[in-house]
Amino acid sequence: MALVELRDLTKRYQTEAEIISVLEDVDLNIEAGEYLSLMGPSGSGKSTLLNLMAGLDQPDSGTITIDGSEITSLGPNRLADWRANHIGFVFQFYNLLPVLTAFQNVELPLLLTNLSKDERRERVEVALNVVNLSDRMEHYPRQLSGGQEQRVGIARAIVSDPVMILADEPTGDLDAASAEEILTLLERLHSEFNKTVLMVTHDQHAAERAHRKMYLEKGVLHQ
């Protein structure tokens, strides 16, 4: 059984005038350890697909099975717990909490676990070490560059050891050099730590780095 199985996934939005179909009968299998990219023009439904897989949004029909759980049937609390344990989310605009240090931002997901303070510290240090920011632990987001902020964001995504990393245009707000760093980092997560990574991107070059490329257009997925 594949790690991720999407079956007949359909999502529509109702606007004043018409019903817009965002995703139309999407079927997708992702095996554990894959590194995928998802491209498509604005409004093609990329983010919606990502949100559905993260359990942030509900489909109109179809099923999403990840690591054996069918998540569309989970209630909000079960879904939140499931998300904490299974998904690491990387945002385009990093979305770090400005009032917390890099260390504290990365520690956030661990606050939902039963880990002791020392165990949390150890994990956070490992994660920050992976993204090569051990020397920036006590910095606040505003003291970091965009690329560094995104690396903290990635550390936050991997700290709870999720089965899958979902990255929503992780290089969209970065200059070329920083973007390159982030792509390398994602690749390492895949190759070194054997993480399953799904990256939504606008950037052809970034998409090429993935091992499997998909294209979404008008709600239809081309693999």
Partner 1 sequence: MKHARLVWKNLTRNKRRSILTVLSVGVALFLFAALQSVLTALDATSEVGSESRLITRNATGIVFPLPEAYTQRLRAVDGVEAVSWANWFGGTYIDSRNYFAQFAVDEETFFSMYPEIQIAPAQLDAFNGEKSGTIVGQGLMERFGWSLGQTIVLQGTIFPGDWEFVIRGVYEPDNPSFGDENMYFHYDYLFENSGESATPGWFIVRPSDPNLATEVAARIDGSFENSSDPTQTETEKAFQAGFVTMWGNVGFLVRAIGTAVFFAILLVAANTMMMSSRERINEVAVLKTLGFRDGLLSRLVVAESLAISVVGGVLGLAAASVMLANNEMLGSILPGYTVLPSTMLQGLAIAVVLGLISGFVPAREAARLSVVDALRRVA
Rule CB under 8 A: which residues touch partner 1? 51, 54, 56-57, 76-77, 80-85, 87, 89, 91-93, 95, 97-100, 104, 108-109, 111-112, 117, 156, 160
- CA dist., res. 44 & res. 46, Å (int): 6
CB of 62 to partner 1, least distance (A): 17
Q: Name which of 88 and 147 has its Cβ closer to partner 1.
A: 88
Q: Name which of 63 and 95 has its Cβ closer to partner 1.
A: 95
Per-residue CA distances from 178 to 1, 105, 149, 188 (Å): 37, 20, 10, 15
| Percentage helix, strand, coil for the chain under 3-state DSSP, each rounded to 5 | 40, 25, 35
CB of 2 to partner 1, least distance (A): 23
Q: How many CB atoms lie within 10 A of CB 181?
A: 18
Q: Name which of 13 and 31 has its Cβ closer to partner 1.
A: 13
CB of 211 to partner 1, least distance (A): 25
Q: Which of 159, 160, 163, 164 is nearest to 133 (CA)?
A: 159
Q: Name which of 35 and 103 has its Cβ closer to partner 1.
A: 103
Q: Which of 35, 15, 3, 37 is nearest to 221 (CA)?
A: 37
CB of 158 to partner 1, least distance (A): 12
CB of 191 to partner 1, least distance (A): 25
Please report how the helices 117-130 and 146-158 are oriented relative to each other, as an axis angle in degrees rounded to 10: 130
Q: Name which of 32 and 108 has its Cβ closer to partner 1.
A: 108
